[in-house]
């Protein structure tokens, strides 16, 4: 198991544009974040150290499910009749069934060290809320979440409660942000952006509480690099170097976690993989968004982040990959995309479920709806190899299992799952509310 996390920032040819304080439009300083994050995590967020040691208490917990397996998808390869070799790094073996505990555990631990009693958060499909509830329980803290897909996916709410967390549907009536949105649209399907506003509002108004984010920020991606560090060691054990690295992106944490250590090796000239992010067509921040300063949440309570965004007012259609329904993207992923170090594509959900079925019927594991995006792209590439005869090595992140997402599969199998087109007019409307459209200094 790796004993340190990898920070990509010092290895980049230039650092990412800094987050801004929305009141002053000046680069954020640590004090700006102290009402919502502990000092240790703020330091990690801004760190220029290439490696950060994983605390031994966190390593002890990681041992419950790490190292995670790297599998070769031989049966899938056979089905596709491809000379490509497909490897997947499987994060579904964690207690929650996804990669999220890789950062929930250190975030809870650092907060506990700082004397914090309660963590608030948002969650989409419930993976993050459940992970944080689990992690808080381990370190004797309280977890409170607001949930964007409360009704459609009940089991992870039950998990959150099982691990001692409390959950509200979002938008909720317990926050001003939630009440404002409900007053405007009582039937809103909610979004991660709205749920973040609510969780930040609760944390900022309670001195014993802090806020924890499950993706997007650099310290979250930092914690997730255990995935890529392990994958590098595992690939070396079988003498493989990847030609293509593929991951799904919601806020970018599982993708960054797998890809950044590989990007380090690529920049050092040790390998030369194409690194590709895959997002849903219904929420295509990297492929159809603008690269601009925007809020991380709908109510505008967070710092301004320079990222690929669909606009903080954008409410994605309620696709099944709840974890990918975020209007923005990790600023660090956005920056490496701008530097030309990674590529991005968008895929429709029906293609994803088709790929997921091929995968489950050969490899056995039922993928969470989010990584089916990466699988669809991996399968497409493997089929191209069948045409060209190339034996490419494809590495993908299977960042979670879908055993609690079976209703989505049920719909797909019975023909009730559809693609929802995203008209440009809907995007233009959301772009119009970007802060950079109203402020000439941005
Ligand atoms: C949360 C989640 C995602 C999306 O978040 P990223 O930060 O982009 O990884 C993807 N897959 C699963 C299984 C998730 O739980």
Residue with the smallest CA separation from ligand 1 atom 2 is: 323
Non-local (6+) Cβ contacts of 114 within 8 A are 38, 39, 40, 210
pLDDT band of residue 188 (cuts 50, 70, 90) is confident
Q: Give the per-residue pLDDT at 239.
A: 98
Please identify, by atom number, the ligand 1 atom nearest to the C-alpha of residue 125.
Answer: 15
**Residue 367 per-residue DSSP state:** B
Task: Give the residues surrounding ligand 1 with Cβ less than 6 Å away.
Answer: 98, 100, 127-128, 215, 248-255, 323-324, 368, 370-371, 399-400
Q: CA neighbours within 13 Å on the CB side: how many for 375?
A: 33
Taking each helix axis from N to C end, the angle separating 192-204 and 176-184, rounded to the nearest 10 degrees, works out to 150
Mean pLDDT within 291-314: 95
Strands of 317-435, DSSP E: 343-347, 393-398
Whole-angstrom distance, CA of residue 66 vs CA of residue 84: 27
Q: Are 68 and 375 in contact (CB under 8 A)?
A: no
Instruction: Find the range with the poorest average confidence among 82-86, 111-115, 120-124.
Output: 120-124
**CATH number of the domain at 59-97+218-419, please?**
3.40.50.1100
Cα 26 to ligand 1 centre (Å): 31
Q: Let me know: does 190 contact 184? Beta carbons within 8 Å.
A: no
Over residues 52-56, the mean pLDDT reads 98
pLDDT above 90: percentage of residues in the chain = 87
The span from the CA of 192 to the CA of 283, in Å, is 12
Which of 102, 215, 218, 333, when mutated, tests ligand 1's pocket best, judged by the most ligand atoms within 8 Å of its CB?
A: 215
pLDDT at 440 over 80: no
Q: Tell me, what's the pLDDT at 150?
A: 66
Least confident of 46-50, 84-88, 164-168, 289-293: 164-168
Residue 142 has pLDDT above 90, yes or no: yes
CA of 249 relative to ligand 1 center, distance in Å: 7
Structure confidence at residue 387 (pLDDT) = 98
Return the closest-CA partner of residue 260 out of 344, 336, 374: 336
Residue whose CB lies within 8 A of the most ligand 1 atoms, among 277, 330, 399, for a mutation test: 399
CA 121 – CA 223 distance, rounded (Å): 17
The answer to whether residues 309 and 302 touch, using CB atoms and an 8 Å cutoff, is no
pLDDT in tens, 390-433: 999 999 999 999 999 999 999 999 999 999 899 999 999 999 99
pLDDT of residue 441: 79
Q: What is the mean pLDDT of residues 382-387?
A: 98
Domain definitions of the chain by residue range:
59-97+218-419
Tokens describing residue 1: 């198991």
Residue nearest to atom 13 of ligand 1 (CA): 400
Number of H helices, E strands in the chain: 18, 14
Can you give the pLDDT at residue 153?
Answer: 74
How far, in Å, CA of 393 to CA of 85, rounded? 5
Helix (H) or strand (E) holding 144: strand 142-147
Q: How many C-beta atoms surround the C-beta of residue 77 within 10 A?
A: 19
pLDDT in tens, 317-360: 888 888 898 999 999 999 999 999 999 999 999 999 999 999 99
Average pLDDT, the chain: 95
**Per-residue b or e along 219-257, where b marks 16 or more CB atoms closer than 10 Å to that residue's CB:** bbbbbbbbbbbbbbebbeeeebebbbbbbbbbbbbbbbb
Mean local confidence (pLDDT), 86-110:
98
* Ramachandran region, residue 127 (left: φ > 0; alpha: ψ -120 to 50; beta: rest): alpha
DSSP string, 204-265: HT-TTEEE--SSSSHHHHHHHHHHHHHHHHHHHHTT---SEEEEE-SSSHHHHHHHHHHHHH
Asked if 88 contacts 71 with a C-beta cutoff of 8 angstroms, the reply is yes
152: pLDDT strictly greater than 80? no
Residue 185's contacts (CB-CB under 8 Å, 6 or more residues apart) are none
Q: Is the pTM value of this prediction over 0.85?
A: yes
360 CB neighbour count, 10 Å cutoff: 18
Residue pair 238/245 in contact (Cβ under 8 Å)? The answer is: no
Handedness of CA 59, 63, 66, 67 (dihedral sign): positive
């Amino acid at each position: 198991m790796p004993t340190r996390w990898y920070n990509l920032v010092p290895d980049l040819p230039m650092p990412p544009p800094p987050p801004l304080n929305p009141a002053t439009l000046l680069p954020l300083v640590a004090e700006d974040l102290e009402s919502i994050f502990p000092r240790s995590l703020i330091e990690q967020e801004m760190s220029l150290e290439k490696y950060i040691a994983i605390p031994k208490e966190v390593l002890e917990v990681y041992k419950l499910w790490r190292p995670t397996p790297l599998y070769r998808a031989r049966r899938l390869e056979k089905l596709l009749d491809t000379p490509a070799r497909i490897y997947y790094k499987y994060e579904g073996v964690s207690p929650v069934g996804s990669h999220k505990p890789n950062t929930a555990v250190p975030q809870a631990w650092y907060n506990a060290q700082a004397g914090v009693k309660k963590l608030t958060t948002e969650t989409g499909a419930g993976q993050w809320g459940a992970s944080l509830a689990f992690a808080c329980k381990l370190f004797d803290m309280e977890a409170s979440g607001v949930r964007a897909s409360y009704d459609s996916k009940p089991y992870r709410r039950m998990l959150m409660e099982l691990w001692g967390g409390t959950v509200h549907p979002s938008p909720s009536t317990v926050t001003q942000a939630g009440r404002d949105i409900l007053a405007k649209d009582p039937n809103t399907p909610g979004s991660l952006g709205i749920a973040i506003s609510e969780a930040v509002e609760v944390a900022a108004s309670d001195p014993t509480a802090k806020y924890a984010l499950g993706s997007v920020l650099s310290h979250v991606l930092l914690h997730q690099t255990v995935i890529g560090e392990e994958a590098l060691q595992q690939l070396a054990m079988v003498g493989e170097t990847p030609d293509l690295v593929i991951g799904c992106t919601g806020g970018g944490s599982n993708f960054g976690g797998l890809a950044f250590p590989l990007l380090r090796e690529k920049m050092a000239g040790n390998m030369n993989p194409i690194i590709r992010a895959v997002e849903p067509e219904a929420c295509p921040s990297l492929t159809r968004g603008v690269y601009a300063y925007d809020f991380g949440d709908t109510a505008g309570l967070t710092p301004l982040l320079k990222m690929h965004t669909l606009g903080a007012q954008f409410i994605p259609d309620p696709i099944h990959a709840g974890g990918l329904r975020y209007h923005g993207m990790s600023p660090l992923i956005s920056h490496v995309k701008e530097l030309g170090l990674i590529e991005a594509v968008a895929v429709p959900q029906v293609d994803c479920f088709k790929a997921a079925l091929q995968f489950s019927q050969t490899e056995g594991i039922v993928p969470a709806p989010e990584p089916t995006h990466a699988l669809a792209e991996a399968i497409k590439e493997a089929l191209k190899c069948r045409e060209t005869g190339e034996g490419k090595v494809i590495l993908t992140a299977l960042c979670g299992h879908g055993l609690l997402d079976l209703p989505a599969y049920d719909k797909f199998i019975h023909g009730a799952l559809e693609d929802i087109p995203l008209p440009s007019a809907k995007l233009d409307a959301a772009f119009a509310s970007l802060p950079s459209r109203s402020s000439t200094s941005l």
